[in-house]
Structure 1
Amino acid sequence: MKNVLILGGGFAGIESAIYLRKANYNVTLISDRDYFYIYPTSIWVPTKESSFDDVCVDLNALKDAHGFDLIIDSVEAISAKNNTVSLKSGKTITEYDYLVVAMGASKMKHPGLENTLSICGAPEQSILLRDKLEEIVNKGSGNICFGFGGNPKDSSAVRGGPAFELLFNVHNYLKKKKIRQNYNLTFFAPMEEPGKRMGSQALKMMDVFFNKLNIDKHFGKKIKSFENDGILFEDNTKLSSDFTMFISAGDGHDVIKNSDLPTNEAGFVKVNDYCNVVIDDKISNIYAVGDVAALEGYDWRAKQGHIAEVMARNVAHNIEARDKNKTDFKGYNEHLNILCVMDSGDGAAFVYRDEKKAFMIPMPIFGHWLKKGWGKYCKYSKLGKIPRIPGM
């Protein structure tokens, strides 16, 4: 039985481990934290609708459910040439036939970023967001700003949906407390049309939401720096803010940038359609899945959890096919789409885009509970406590 080493305990890493175990490989997963964090449902932690534990799954429980080995440690270095992975603990791992890199991405660095918090940053930031929101609620009034940025070197490395979701959830949270009128809510982004990748219908509908909910917009100006009392833009104008939530665009992982793996300009691992890393024009024993990989394709493509899971399932299939001398490899490009249930706290909107169509469908009230249900499904299906829906 061959050995597969997986680096990363997020959507891509966990799905790789589950499906490679189904294919009867010995699997070892390395993660720098002992839980799987369900980022899509973490939007409710700041508003206290969910606890931190609600959006976490114990990795030891996942290990026991699927039979893979688990190492809690940080990856310090990867050498494709030497077929080694070095860990923070000082251990170097060499005994593997295949390596699946699923470490996610780093974040672009902006001056003063420490003056912001992110719902897509380290999981603990969701708790800090909760505490900051409580602080400003106790203050009685204030300016709250939400935004996200892009990576000019890789247009797929943007994650704007959670910024919209947290904005709408905070609006609803303040409304329930009957203090919404005391707060100025502003959405900002350096691009002219944030959310454009979701399609023209969604873009127009978002504008309707902003006007209806009395949310200010500040678009089209590059960010110079984040201050403790606001956001400074390239023209030296300033947006006043008592509390700034900003999702910085993804950037290549520092370990990857310092490795001998081939990368694109932004530092993401170059892979072919089968998620295999090609080195010196030769197929290697290394695969990269999820946010760590450089996605090729449409201008509107975006790194999302469901795409990471498609890549992971494909890799499990492709490794098995490769060992059986088959050529029915599966590619990720045909599955590229944007798919999300954008929650608002009192409803949601279903957003979809592929190469043929793009649309947004409002789902008042029940959409919120649909996403809540998905969160439960995600947790318990991965633990093997309820059946998996095919393709999910």
Structure 2
Amino acid sequence: MSTTKRVLVLGGGFAGVEAAIFLRRNEMEVTLVSDRDYFYIYPTSIWIPTGEVTREDVSIPLDKLAVVHGFQLIIDPVSKIEATQKRVTLESGRVMEGYDYLVVAIGQSKIAIPGMGEHSLSICGAPEEATALYGKLDKLIVQGKGKIAMGFGGNPKDSSAVRGGPAFEVLFNVDTYLKRKGIRDNFELTFFAPMEKPGQKMGPKALDMMDKMFTMTHIKKKIGSKIVCFEADGIRFEDGTKLESDLTMFISAGKGHPIIEASDLPLSESGFVLTNEYNEVEGFEGVYAIGDSANLMGPEWRAKQGHVAEVMARNTAYNIFQHSQQIDSRESYIEHLNILCVMDTGNGAAFVYRCEKGSKMIPMPIVGHWMKKGWGWYCKMSKLGKIPRIPGM
């Protein structure tokens, strides 16, 4: 009788895929369940709206990853999680049970604002939305003029669930794109957010630099007032004003996934799975939560990012293996908490880093853009096993 431990991983994003890869390295029998048949590289999807890349360029078929790394793959959305029994029901009605370990990595949901679904698109939502942004921007360019508003929202119950970086990136990329076409003066670009200091997680120096970038690019700001609703021609705010817009991109803050909220898992106030620093769901033997599904511990400036999700995934693979060998050794993600990104502008970038010791934002004209392009290539090739992985990446 085989003594190989069986692990069920839910989710085909950064956390789920990384967990499956590293669990297989420890010779676990792994089944990965995903609601779509490709792994989507969100950090490089920022170039889809300007036509620099396509959805296919920033995607990896999951079946290719499954073959390369040797895990089983099921494309079927999760409809129910019964963590106590480690039993999962899929949308097709198929029941997954009998596993030694369960890893929950199905992501998060978004805080809904009236009209958001009908009148705005997100670069951090369904991949189809990025392609739709490209289509709408292209129509405005054909018209030769327009008003474009891009921003992000907050979650007052969980500061880690705010994703603002991509909003800045797409906005600056659109600015660069319009300048290259020689029609920037015909467009009004506005950044909006409900908080007084959007982007403050990056640190005070970064905030000052962001203000300078907005001034240099002639991008307007509408901040500090709660968003009431989205309309076909703009956004209304609690202060009674309306921001007119022909194209609205908005990244809503995260909240718990509805499947997780309906499960028997312990949840935070915002609906994320409560775990300890080892990503174990305490009181549920052999159950782990990682990535956007998990409640993120740490300082107020902490943020749910792809590299943090992958640290959680690698640690969880290690912790599961050690547990299976009855070895008392575990890895925590707390010491790896930081904000790290190359914030692309289409013609350069800014290196942003923050940890408990401080923060920095370093401009990288021209070369920064190609560094991020290079990372995108590295991400695809390394996950497909075509080039070696850099330790910690």
TM-score (ref. length: structure 2) = 0.98
Cα-to-partner distance string for 1:178-234 (whole Å, 9 max, x where unaligned): 000000000000000000000001000000000000000111000000010010001
Equivalent residues in 2 for 1:347-362 (5 A)? 347-362=348-363
Q: Does 1:339 align with 2:374?
A: no
Cα-to-partner distance string for 1:251-308 (whole Å, 9 max, x where unaligned): 10000000000000000000000000012xxx52110000000001100000000000
What is the SS of the residue equivalent to 1:273? coil
Residue 86 of structure 2 contacts residue 101 of structure 2 at CA under 8 Å; is this kept in 1? no
Corresponding residue of 2:124:
120
What is the SS of the residue equivalent to 1:278? coil
Q: Does 1:219 align with 2:220?
A: no
What is the SS of the residue equivalent to 1:144? strand
Corresponding residue of 1:289:
290
Q: Does 1:255 align with 2:259?
A: yes
Residue 53 of structure 1 aligns with an amino acid whose one-letter code is: E
Q: Does 1:61 align with 2:64?
A: yes
Separation (CA, whole Å) in 2 of partners of 1:235 and 1:366: 41
Separation (CA, whole Å) in 1 of partners of 2:82 and 2:180: 53
What is the SS of the residue equivalent to 1:47? coil
Separation (CA, whole Å) in 2 of partners of 1:207 and 1:108: 27
Which of 3, 15, 18 in structure 1 is aligned with 2:6?
3
Equivalent residues in 2 for 1:220-369 (5 A)? 220-279=224-283, 284-369=285-370
Aligned pairs, number: 389
Residue 5 of structure 2 contacts residue 324 of structure 2 at CA under 8 Å; is this kept in 1? no
Separation (CA, whole Å) in 1 of partners of 2:85 and 2:329: 29
Which of 201, 205, 213 in structure 1 is aligned with 2:205?
201
Cα-to-partner distance string for 1:359-382 (whole Å, 9 max, x where unaligned): 000000010000000000000100
Corresponding residue of 2:180:
176
Separation (CA, whole Å) in 1 of partners of 2:214 and 2:161: 25
**What is the CA-CA distance between 1:311 and the residue it aligns to?**
0.2
What is the SS of the residue equivalent to 2:196? coil
Residue 369 of structure 1 aligns with an amino acid whose one-letter code is: W
TM-score (ref. length: structure 1) = 0.98
Corresponding residue of 2:169:
165
Which of 9, 14, 18 in structure 2 is aligned with 1:15?
18
Corresponding residue of 1:105:
108
Residue 105 of structure 2 aligns with an amino acid whose one-letter code is: A
**What is the CA-CA distance between 1:322 and the residue it aligns to?**
1.0
Cα-to-partner distance string for 1:312-347 (whole Å, 9 max, x where unaligned): 000010011112222220001111100000000000
Residue 357 of structure 1 aligns with an amino acid whose one-letter code is: G
What is the SS of the residue equivalent to 2:270? coil
Corresponding residue of 1:25:
28
Corresponding residue of 2:94:
91
Q: Does 1:156 align with 2:160?
A: yes
Separation (CA, whole Å) in 1 of partners of 2:225 and 2:30: 47
Could you tell me which runs of 5 or more consecutive residues in structure 1 were left unpaired when the two chains were aligned. Answer: none
Residue 64 of structure 1 aligns with an amino acid whose one-letter code is: V
Corresponding residue of 2:38:
35
Residue 389 of structure 1 aligns with an amino acid whose one-letter code is: I
Separation (CA, whole Å) in 1 of partners of 2:139 and 2:53: 18
Separation (CA, whole Å) in 2 of partners of 1:261 and 1:41: 32
Cα-to-partner distance string for 1:35-70 (whole Å, 9 max, x where unaligned): 000000001111011111100001000000000000
Corresponding residue of 2:381:
380
What is the SS of the residue equivalent to 1:217? strand
Separation (CA, whole Å) in 2 of partners of 1:56 and 1:28: 20
Structure 1's consecutive aligned runs of 4 or more residues displaced over 2 angstroms after TM superposition are: none
RMSD: 0.7
Residue 255 of structure 2 contacts residue 271 of structure 2 at CA under 8 Å; is this kept in 1? yes
Q: Does 1:78 align with 2:81?
A: yes
Residue 377 of structure 2 aligns with an amino acid whose one-letter code is: K
Separation (CA, whole Å) in 2 of partners of 1:199 and 1:374: 24
Separation (CA, whole Å) in 2 of partners of 1:125 and 1:24: 37
Separation (CA, whole Å) in 2 of partners of 1:26 and 1:323: 12
Which of 151, 158, 174 in structure 2 is aligned with 1:147?
151
Of 81-90 and 174-183, the range deviating more from structure 2 = 81-90
**What is the CA-CA distance between 1:236 and the residue it aligns to?**
2.1
Separation (CA, whole Å) in 2 of partners of 1:327 and 1:208: 51
**What is the CA-CA distance between 1:82 and the residue it aligns to?**
2.7
**What is the CA-CA distance between 1:390 and the residue it aligns to?**
0.4
Separation (CA, whole Å) in 2 of partners of 1:160 and 1:83: 35
What is the SS of the residue equivalent to 1:284? coil
Separation (CA, whole Å) in 2 of partners of 1:227 and 1:122: 20
What is the SS of the residue equivalent to 1:360? strand
Separation (CA, whole Å) in 1 of partners of 2:388 and 2:96: 34
What is the SS of the residue equivalent to 1:244? strand
Separation (CA, whole Å) in 2 of partners of 1:115 and 1:284: 44
Could you tell me which runs of 5 or more consecutive residues in structure 2 were left unpaired when the two chains were aligned. Answer: none
Residue 76 of structure 2 aligns with an amino acid whose one-letter code is: D
**What is the CA-CA distance between 1:142 and the residue it aligns to?**
1.1
